[in-house]
Amino acid sequence: MTPTDPATPQTCPVSAGTAPATDTTDPLVVDLPLRRPGVPFPPPHYADYRNHEGLVLSHLPDGRRVWLVTRHEDVRTVLTSPEISSNPAHEGFPNIGATGGVPTQDQIPGWFVGMDSPEHDRFRKALIPEFTVRRVRAMRPAIERTVDAQLDAMLAAGDTADLVADFALPIPSLVISSLLGVPPADREFFESRTRVLVSLRTATDDDRMAATKDLLRYIGRLVEIKQKWGGDDLITRLLATGSIAPHELSGVLMLLLIAGHETTANNIALGVVTLLTNPQWIGDERAVEETLRFHSVADIVSLRVAVEDVEIAGQLIKAGEGIIPLVAAANHDENVFACPHAFDPSRSARSHVAFGYGVHQCLGQNLVRVEMEVAYRKLFERIPNLQLDVPLDRLGIKYDGVLYGLHQLPVRW
Ligand code: HEM
């Protein structure tokens, strides 16, 4: 076990890095933290960025400049500033991919994560009842059955498995399918299309366009079926409220399908590795929140653009300049989390920003917590002798996508 292993806590105190010379009129210019093969996560230079006065400047693949925000306090400020927008239609919105970009309302109506208040509020209000603690609690028995069924299949198949493909991915995927009323057999279809949309380097514009069209066509058909036949599912309930037009449902449902499985899957898989390397925390429910903070899989998800000149941490950001709040950097800010690189479920991790912050804070967070709690509890109860089947430093880590995670997780028992 070395400090460069992705799921390995480093001992405290950890070097905060070497603070570069500070000069707010001449910001530090750094690489965009997208591809980091062989580098630990979060990248150690995040500590340098946090220590740098003001903000850090980077360049997007298209050559435009973008501000990186790394301190916990500054990330929260960015995510709640009225001068800063989530709308990708605004000039200067950061496009972090080598290709493509974030969809606009013209392309996908109802893609509400890309809207600002007050437009955003109508969608959020319609969806909140679907994700309350109470509603999610009612889903728990079904989530337990889903987790048990995956474990039954894994155990029946032998004494090894790929915990990503056989466990971490199917669970959130099946849960979101059942919530939306998507037939379980279609899971492979939307997983494959989502994979294209969240990969930054390997997918071309044509691939993204084709995946988006496939998903929209599929969702359109699904909505038609629900309009005709109804069902005990989110789509039918949303249609009944009348607050979201059927054509806007395409963006809403696509967002839920995309947001709802890769994120959780990455978190479940990385958390299993961390628990295997820190077995004293197996069975402790507090591990869920700390895993979310520790791994911060959605590091570069909350993209923003300034729509008016605004000052953040003493740095002037001009209207039209892009901003990337790096939530993994904020969640490892030593001013908020003592010994941030140590995996310590006994700490109070609730103030983490792994789910973002402000009006766009993750709508699925209650669901995620239950999925993770059930997944860890049942996995370690039913397979107490679970072990990694590959050395830690050989794990296939996803460093080049929107989300941080694992490609595979070979295990045996
Ligand atoms: C570990 C798992 C997850 C993580 C780390 C995560 C992270 C995030 C983050 C960082 C945001 C904020 C985006 C922004 O500020 O622009 C967000 C928004 C959102 N998430 Fe999640 N998410 C997870 C799972 C889920 C699940 C399971 C669902 C749904 C079933 C979901 C649905 C959403 C939706 C709909 C939004 C947009 C909310 C809005 O704009 O009002 N997420 N998520």
The residue whose C-alpha atom lies closest to atom 9 belonging to ligand 1 is: 355
The answer to whether position 364 is within a domain reads: yes
Instruction: Give the model's confidence band at 257: pLDDT under 50 very low, under 70 low, under 90 confident, else very high.
Output: confident
Output b/e per residue, 104-135; b: 16+ Cβ within 10 A. ebebbbbbbbbbbeeebeebbebbeebbeeee
Q: What single DSSP character describes residue 11?
A: P
- Predicted local distance difference test score (pLDDT) of residue 57: 94
Q: pTM higher than 0.85, yes or no?
A: yes
State yes or no: pLDDT of 3 exceeds 50.
Answer: no
Structure confidence by residue, pLDDT tens digits, 338-393: 999 999 999 998 899 999 999 999 999 999 999 999 999 999 999 999 999 999 88
Residues with CB under 6 A from ligand 1: 86, 112-113, 124, 172, 176, 255-256, 259-260, 263-264, 267, 297-298, 301-302, 354-356, 360, 362-364, 367-368
The answer to whether position 21 is within a domain reads: no
The domain tally of the chain equals 1
Nearest atom in ligand 1 to the alpha carbon of residue 114 is 40
The answer to whether position 231 is within a domain reads: yes
Give the separation between CA 184 and CA 176, rounded to whole angstroms: 10
Nearest atom in ligand 1 to the alpha carbon of residue 357 is 15
Structure confidence by residue, pLDDT tens digits, 231-253: 889 999 999 999 999 889 988 99
Strand runs (DSSP E) across 103-247, as ranges? 160-162
Give the range of the structural domain holding residue 178, as residue numbers without chain letter: 28-412
How far away, in angstroms, is 173 Cα from ligand 1 center?
14
SS3 assignment, position 323: strand
The answer to whether position 193 is within a domain reads: yes
CATH number at 95 reads 1.10.630.10
The answer to whether position 303 is within a domain reads: yes
The answer to whether position 119 is within a domain reads: yes
Give the separation between CA 206 and CA 219, rounded to whole angstroms: 20
Mean pLDDT of 25-41: 69
- Predicted local distance difference test score (pLDDT) of residue 22: 44
Q: What single DSSP character describes residue 186?
A: G
Give the separation between CA 50 and CA 333, rounded to whole angstroms: 8
